[in-house]
Chain A
């Protein structure tokens, strides 16, 4: 089966609706198909990868640790909108430290999060072949 550039666009907060959780389920499946997978976080989607999430009080499962596993699935490109962060009073320091081990560089640990502005995000999207928006 051929390999395509897949992009999952995450636009919604992690709780409140099920979009974020079910999006992550497709992301993990797509890794099994050995596709070139990237993720984008825009709008309230940036909240999905904030650190220190505690969902106990609302009776929902905190699924944010799953993002830490993405590197092991060779999903190493997580594009985060700088405007979406700024609009919400967030900085990169509020995000989880998501990393992967680069097999081409003696398994050096490298950051998966790539901060991009809207122009760069648009250019990255133009490179994609399959875009799923959740």
Chain B
């Protein structure tokens, strides 16, 4: 089956991102396809490479990046939600005249149309949120 995943909560504050990672891993192990993972609301904070959790805690952003590298996952951060919350790639930072970017490897920033397209293209859209 082909899945699109929607993550609506940030890492560590809420378990939604952890559950989404576990769901994606389990689906891939069973031979299912992940069409796209879309990050919305505070979910966009999954895509900053600047998180430094304590040494004994899990590394949520790295888990996403590893999944993207290993399985070619399409990790898409909503641009409107990202701009509100300060998640920037190099191009967007330049466009906004900002002096830094923070997007993690494996993520890309795009529009809400990518979420709607994910709903249309996938057999199931699964929402992880509050």
Question: Interface code B98-130, partner A: CB below 8 Å = 1, 0 otherwise?
Answer: 000000000000011101110110000101011
Known: A2-B120, A29-B112, A33-B120. A130 touches B40 (CB 8 A): no
Chain A residues with CB below 8 A from B130, complex form: 19
Whether B117 contacts A22 by the Cβ 8 Å rule is no
Q: Known A18-B41, A134-B8, A134-B129; judge A25-B116 contact (CB<8 A).
A: no
Q: How many residues of B contact A (CB 8 A)?
A: 19
A131 touches B125 (CB 8 A): yes
Smallest CB gap from A18: residue in B: B41
CA distance A6 to B122 in the complex (A): 13
Number of interface residues of A (CB under 8 A): 19
Tell me whether A4 and B112 are in contact (CB under 8 A): no
**Are B40 and A22 closer than 8 Å at their CB atoms?**
yes
- In chain A, residues 15-57, which have Cβ atoms closer than 8 Å to a Cβ of chain B? 18-19, 22, 25-26, 29-30, 32-33, 35
B7 at the A/B interface (Cβ < 8 Å)?
no
* A6 and B119 within 8 A (CB): yes
Known: A19-B41, A33-B120, A35-B120. A132 touches B6 (CB 8 A): yes
B80 in contact (CB, < 8 A): yes
For A123-134 the 0/1 string (1 means CB < 8 A from B) is 000000011111
B41, B120, B127: the one contacting A22 at CB < 8 Å is B41
Nearest-neighbour CB distance to chain B for A89, whole angstroms, equals 25
Tell me whether A35 and B8 are in contact (CB under 8 A): no
In the bound assembly, the distance between CA atoms of A100 and B129 in angstroms comes to 31
* Cross-chain contact B120 with A1 (CB below 8 angstroms): yes
Provide the bound-state CA to CA distance between A38 and B12, in Å: 33
Q: For chain A, residues 73 to 129, give those with C-beta under 8 angstroms from any C-beta of chain B.
A: none
A–B complex contacts, Cβ < 8 Å, 26 sampled: A1-B117, A1-B120, A2-B120, A4-B120, A6-B116, A6-B119, A19-B130, A22-B40, A25-B80, A25-B112, A29-B115, A29-B116, A30-B116, A30-B119, A33-B117, A33-B120, A130-B120, A130-B125, A131-B127, A132-B119, A132-B125, A132-B127, A133-B127, A133-B129, A134-B8, A134-B41
